[in-house]
Structure 1
Amino acid sequence: MPSLNATDLRPFIPAKDFAQSKAFYASLGWVTKDVGPGIALVTLGDRQHFYIQDYYVKEFAENTMLHVTIDDAHAWYEHVSAVLGDGAFPEARVGSPVPQSYGATVTFVHDPSGVLLHLCQWQ
């Protein structure tokens, strides 16, 4: 029987302004690399990857969510707040960490296109 294991999952997220989305994620410390026309690979650490695509549908963007497991929701809140403090990404926003009923503390970040990041610290 052939192996049916999956080794990676890389969703595609929309970008209202492709250059701005790449700059936003780079400013958070994530590595962005153009890999094709209108496609950039975003990498955080060794195993977190997704693609930004130069394609935008408002309803899709505002219903797209990425869950990222992190070590410290409060540290990420401070970091994202500092990045947003200079006003370079006026449509992006971050909320204070919130304890969730399922045993996590989550910092919610909306990127410049409206994509919601769940920066999740498990308890």
Structure 2
Amino acid sequence: MLHSNRIKRLMTNLRSVELKAFVPARDFAASLAFYRALGFAVNWEDGNLAYLHHDQCSFLLQNFYVRELAENLMLHLLVEDVDSWWSQLQADGFFDRHPVAQGLQDQPWSMRDFVLLDPSGVLWRIGQNLD
């Protein structure tokens, strides 16, 4: 009986804490520079893996590349004010160094966003929900 009570207690906490994607990098240094310019902080990096975050959002950049994986990976960063993001990236000259795949626009799925491709071909949608 004691054993089954312990198992029940162990199984009652099924809370998730975090989910991170492993993002491939064809050129690790170029990808790190891209994400830093985008506004992500690098908390840890060892040349093969880096932990990047912006506020409460994070991912792992890996020094590993398979073209089919990178070109079929899409990530979505939900922000509070996408127009501020767009304006800040313009002011920083980000778009001069990293072309936009799709400019800022309202989408039929009630979102305003823009689309970037990282140096490895990973597609990023940065957007906010519309009321």
TM-score (norm: length of structure 2): 0.80
Letter in 1 for 2:69: F
In the aligned structure 1, how far is the partner of 2:127 from the partner of 2:82?
7
Is the Cα–Cα contact under 8 Å of residues 30 and 44 in structure 1 kept in the other structure?
A: yes
2:109 is matched with 102
Structure 1 residues 61-120: Cα deviation after superposition (integer angstroms, max 9, x where no partner) = 1111111111222222233342132x3xxxx42231121111111111111111111112
Superposed counterparts of 1:38-77, under 5 Å: 38-45=48-55, 47-77=56-86
Is the Cα–Cα contact under 8 Å of residues 28 and 47 in structure 2 kept in the other structure?
A: no
2:17 alignment partner, SS class = coil
Question: Residues 96 and 53 from structure 1, CA distance in 2 versus in 1: closer, same or farther, beyond 3 angstroms?
Answer: same
Letter in 2 for 1:84: F
1:9 alignment partner, SS class = coil
In the aligned structure 1, how far is the partner of 2:14 from the partner of 2:46?
28
| Residue of 18, 27, 36 corresponding to 1:8 | 18
Q: List 4+ stretches of structure 1 deviating above 6 A.
A: none
Q: What is the root-mean-square deviation in Å for CA atoms of aligned residues?
A: 1.6
2:5 is matched with none
Identity of aligned residues (%): 32
Gaps of 5+ in 1: none
More helix as a share of residues = 2
Verify: 1:25 aligned to 2:35, yes or no.
yes
2:39 alignment partner, SS class = coil
Letter in 2 for 1:21: S
Is the Cα–Cα contact under 8 Å of residues 23 and 59 in structure 2 kept in the other structure?
A: yes
Structure number with greater Rg is 2
2:36 alignment partner, SS class = helix
Gaps of 5+ in 2: 1-7
Is the Cα–Cα contact under 8 Å of residues 104 and 121 in structure 1 kept in the other structure?
A: yes
In the aligned structure 2, how far is the partner of 1:97 from the partner of 1:49?
23
